[in-house]
Amino acid sequence: MNNLIPSVMRKINIYFFITVAFVLIPLGTHGQQDAQYTQYMYNTQIVNPAYAGSRETLSLGLLGRTQWVGFEGAPQTFTFTANAPVGIYNSMGLGLSIVHDQIGPAIESNINVDISYTVDVSRTGRLSFGFKGGLDILDVDFERLNLADPNDPNFQITVDQKLQPQVGTGIYFTNDRFYAGVSVPNFLNTKHFDEDSLQDTDVSSVAIERLHYFLIMGHVFDLNRSIKFKPAILLKTVSGSPLQLDVSANFMFNEKFVLGTSYRWDASISAMMGFQVSRAFFAGVAYDYQSTKLEAYSNGSYEVFLRFDIFDRSDRILIPRFF
């Protein structure tokens, strides 16, 4: 009993720290500009650089998302991530994250290097601090639109590979059952356009990319020897749009087969399925049904995720991790 109390107190202190860290983030903003993901629980590095290296092996991830199928100009998103632990005692993580996002006449890509530093805070708990830095590349071609008035001055400006820097940060805590993180993937309020540019064609910047704030959290429960249950949440806020809350529940059977569902507040209901093909390879798919009037004009959204974990012979991770 004497040993149990300090252990419980350490866990309470860790969870309290994570909660306070999120509360201190300014939540007076709303919304969404960055791409959204249904399988966000497998795509953490895109929004939080502190995740880099946390899988304790070289890990590669690919995600493709087609949103609002049948809706012309709807978003299409592709991501690639790579990360691995480096340094003495694997205390650092190094990664690469790439996002390619197309919606209507705009194509936006960003390429970032992710760096993390991890400290042990308990016997199984690790706290990581991450930094993300790279470039955002934007192309906007209004000729892709079917305009009622091709001479409308609001649609005469094109953007050709406009480069903007990106700088972000995050913290991420994990143990063998629980994970949580808070992050801001890009601190820079990038100005792509502004209203004055409509009067001055020499200026090619219009619309401001706002700061995004993310909270992710999940916990794995053993229901019995063959079934694991993992509830998870993602909370995102950005100026100009409503707060986005995603709540999901996944079940893993015999360390192999995953079935789950998720709900995006006032937006969609999703079904997810995954399969741990081998110790190194995981594949997942998801389908979103829009719970808004938009569903009348589209055939839902689809997502595919692939992960490759490349183990060294000395690695002792025998059971695939559920996050």
Lowest-confidence range among 80-84, 126-130, 242-246, 272-276? Answer: 242-246
**273 CB-side CA count, 13 A:** 2
32 has pLDDT over 80: no
Nearest to 138 by CA among 108, 114, 116: 108
111 Cβ partners below 8 Å, 6+ apart? 96, 97, 98, 134, 135, 137
CATH 2.40.160.40: does it fit domain 4-310?
A: yes
Query: Average pLDDT for residues 52-69, to the nearest whole number?
Result: 93
The percent of residues above 90 in pLDDT, for the chain, comes to 51
0.75 surpassed by pTM: yes
d(CA 204, CA 158): 7
